[in-house]
Amino acid sequence: MFGLGGTSLSQTTISFIKEVRPAGFIIMGENYESPEQIHDLCVDLQTISKEPLLIGVDQEGGRVARLKEPFIKIPKASLIGEKNSPKWTFDLYHALGKELRSVGINLDFAPVCDILTNPKNKVIGDRSFSSDLKIVESLTSASVRGLQKAGVIACAKHYPGHGDTLEDSHESLPHVKTQLKTLESRELAAFKKAIKSGVETIMTAHLMCDALDKDMPTTLSVKALQKLRKDLRFSGLIISDDMNMGAISEVQMEEDALYLAVEAGIDLLLYCDPLHDHHKKVFEYLYKKTEKDSSFLKKLQESYKRLQKIKDEYLVDPLPPKDAWKNIVGSQEHSVISFCHHEEPEKATW
């Protein structure tokens, strides 16, 4: 799953889709001008592709919201946590899901399931619902159900928990030294709740978690992802955080990281950069690897089955109605839902 440049479909992206057939694209702030424009871009992407595309966005709320007004303004998670109303949280994310789906976006990289156990953690900080597990569990469940009832795939992140770190994984590799017993009763419990609530995808964190694997960051760790599959019983799609991030590039060369991520159990590799020449190299490396390694090919085929299962459920009709967004995005009904939040916009720190 890749980033793309500009606010409209370029000939370069058209050729790339036809040649590589990616799983989908992530919409970044630079790709957005207006609801109509993003609607047209999503329609063009789906029309060109022979298979339905996942079209995702980081729309958590607060300082991480790629789509600005008139889209519904979701408060930062810490404020939602202070209110601690599962019903209101469900309504917020259900409204958000309807708006996203009306313009053609079918995957939201939300909610953040991280428990803010380190108050000095600025990377997660107010992106977390709370330092209280029960609040995080309850609001995670509400937001997952709200998004998916609206037909938008939710993504619980960042497994196994990014709340007890200081370092920014966009720049370097964070290290979590939490004991396994504590991790299971705290951080992993939040992901268990998301799984029980039916979350379709989980995003891995690029961090070292000694309790799970002392040698490999989670995204590249067989042990950590087997824990997610077997102990937490997650059967959905495991998505990597952006593979361009410093936490990965500082510990592995790109080709090695690709191989190790797939071997570990990552189903969907995420690259947020818009450089299709780079994306082709990623694809070519994976393709060449399958020609020499049948077990590697089998892993990719297993991931593809999981991907298709989600597409079959959520993307039977990936095209949004032509003008539906006009009555949905920023509607009076949605404004009423978010009326209690009147903060000034916050600038994203990443």
SS3 content of the chain, % helix, strand, coil (to 5): 45, 10, 40
Q: How far apart are CA 5 and CA 14, in angstroms?
A: 12
Helices and strands, number each (H, E), in the chain: 13, 11
Of the candidates 241, 267, 276, 279, the residue annotated as catalytic is: 241
**What are the helix (H) ranges across 75-132?**
77-83, 86-103
Q: How far apart are CA 53 and CA 347, in angstroms?
A: 29
170 is catalytic: yes
Of the candidates 44, 170, 210, 273, the residue annotated as catalytic is: 170
Which tokens sit at 224? Answer: 């950590």
62-83 burial, b for 16+ CB within 10 Å, e for fewer?
bbbbbbeeebbbbbbbbbbbee
Which tokens sit at 130? Answer: 């709370």
277 is catalytic: no
Torsion of CA 185, 110, 147, 3, to 10 degrees: -150
DSSP state of 114: -
What is the maximal distance between C-alpha atoms in the chain? Answer: 58
Q: How far apart are CA 163 and CA 154, in angstroms?
A: 20
Q: Which residues contact 237 (CB under 8 A, 6 or more apart)?
A: 200, 201, 202, 267, 268, 303, 306, 307, 310
Pairing status of strand 208-209 against strand 54-57: unpaired
Amino acid identity, position 227: K
Closest CA to 116 of 201, 187, 217: 187
Continuous segment of H or E residues that includes residue 107: strand 107-108
Which residues are annotated as catalytic? 170, 241
